Amino acid sequence: MRTDRPRLMDIALLHYPVVNKRGETIGSAVTNLDLHDLARAGRTYGIDTCWIVTPYDEQRKLARRIISHWTDGYGGKVNPDRREALSILRICSDLDEVLAGCVARWGKRPRVLATCASPRPNTRSYETVREQVRRDEPHLLLFGTAWGLSPEVMAGVDATLPPLKGRGEYNHLSVRSAVAIILDRLLAER
């Protein structure tokens, strides 16, 4: 069904470790609509795999059940486009598992980039990353739920994409919106 070769790019949505509004490390809940919106955006922009990361066994079971309704069940029969989108989702427990999955497909560790709503040192521009992806260098983009990725995750990445700048100081996009915009900036055909 899929005729285009995916980019050497994965994204991962982390539900742990992320921070709450007080900056404390927490685990957040998987939500149905994140799965759909990220899968649809990911498939539209031709990424390889969208990882849904949670250490909670019950949450992984729930996510797998939702996905299977669309990939193997009734949902996919009545809406094949949605089946194609949700088939790029993979559920796993932690970031190590994501990286192992990337290495298994690509033969090398991807460059790991964090996304963050606040300015950071060690940023890499959207143009630079866009060019690197076009040259088939493998990339993994990390997105945090709740109030964003925890400091320990941020400390372990290779670089960070600049915050999305709209107009003025306000930037409180949903993670669904941030994923869509960043994929468009990095991967849209021009």
Residues lying near a copy of itself in the complex (CB under 8 A) are found at: 2-4, 7, 21, 33, 36-37, 40-41, 43-46, 79, 81-82, 84-85, 164-174, 176-181, 183-185, 187-189
Q: Nearest distance from residue 171's CB to a copy of itself, in Å?
A: 5
Residue placing its CB nearer to a copy of itself in the complex, 84 or 158: 84
Which CB, 66 or 95, lies closer to a copy of itself? 66
Minimum distance from CB of 4 to a copy of itself (Å)?
Answer: 3
Please say which residue, 32 or 122, places its beta carbon nearer to a copy of itself.
32
Q: What backbone torsions phi and psi does residue 8 show, to the nearest 5 degrees?
A: -80, 60
Closest CB 105 distance from a copy of itself, rounded Å: 17
Cα–Cα distance between 150 and 24 in angstroms, integer?
Answer: 8
> Closest CB to a copy of itself among 14 and 175?
175
In angstroms, give the least distance from the CB of 2 to a copy of itself.
8
Cβ-based nearer residue to a copy of itself, 12 or 95: 12
Least Å distance between CB 78 and a copy of itself?
9
